[in-house]
Every structure is written in structure tokens, then in C-alpha cells.
Structure 1
């Protein structure tokens, strides 16, 4: 049986931590930032842990 291929879209968007949690970037900070308040842009910085229900699906796409 052939190897499972990694989903290329998923590998760009998600990362698995050392403890096995799936993290992603916050949505809403990629573009059109000029009119957004600084407070909002600061809040959207950093990574967020995905819920367990979604994490299992994402891990399958990543081949974990």
C-alpha cells in the first residue's frame, strides 16, 4: 500500500507541538489591517490551540 501523502494546504496552516496539540494562526490579520484598531491587531498576534474535535482531523491530513 502506498504512503499517505501530506495535505499541502494543511501543512502550511497547522503545526503539531511537542505534546501533540495542533496550533494555528489567528484569523483576520493577513490583510486590510490599515483600518483595524491596533488593539485588535495585537490581540490577533500569535498561535491558538485547536479544539480536540478538529485536531484529530487535522492530524490525519498531516499524516500524524
Structure 2
């Protein structure tokens, strides 16, 4: 049986914390920033935890 390979793209997008939580960069900060209010761009900066509905799929892609 061949080895399980982790999805390299997902590995670049998601980080696993010390307690095992999945953390990602928040979406919506790539383009059209002039049209967005600065309050919204401040809220979008930083990291957030991956949604509970997606954790099983992300863990599988990471090979966990």
C-alpha cells in the first residue's frame, strides 16, 4: 500500500496550533481594498479558527 500524502496546498493555508486547533488567514483581504471600509479591513486582518464543519475535511487533507 502506498504512503498517504498530505495535500501541500492545504498545508500552506492552515496551521495547527499546540492544542491541535486549525487556524487560517481570514478571507477577503486580497483585492478591492480601497472600496472596503478601514473598519472592515481591520476586522479581516489576523487569523481565525477553521469552521467546525470543515475540520474533518481539512484534517484528512493534512494527513492527520
Question: Given the two structures, how large is their TM-score scaled by the length of structure 2?
Answer: 0.86
- Does 1:53 pair with 2:53? yes
Q: Which runs of 4+ in 1 moved over 3 A?
A: none
CA RMSD of aligned residues (A): 1.2
Secondary structure of the residue that 1:58 maps to in structure 2? helix
1:14-55 Cα deviation digits (max 9, x unpaired): 111111111111110111111211100000011111133311
For 1:34 and 1:60, how far apart are their aligned partners in 2?
Answer: 37
For 1:34 and 1:51, how far apart are their aligned partners in 2?
Answer: 28
- Does 1:41 pair with 2:45? no
Question: Given the two structures, how large is their TM-score scaled by the length of structure 1?
Answer: 0.86
Secondary structure of the residue that 2:60 maps to in structure 1? helix
- The unaligned stretches of length 5 or more in structure 1 are none
Report how many aligned residue pairs link the two structures: 64
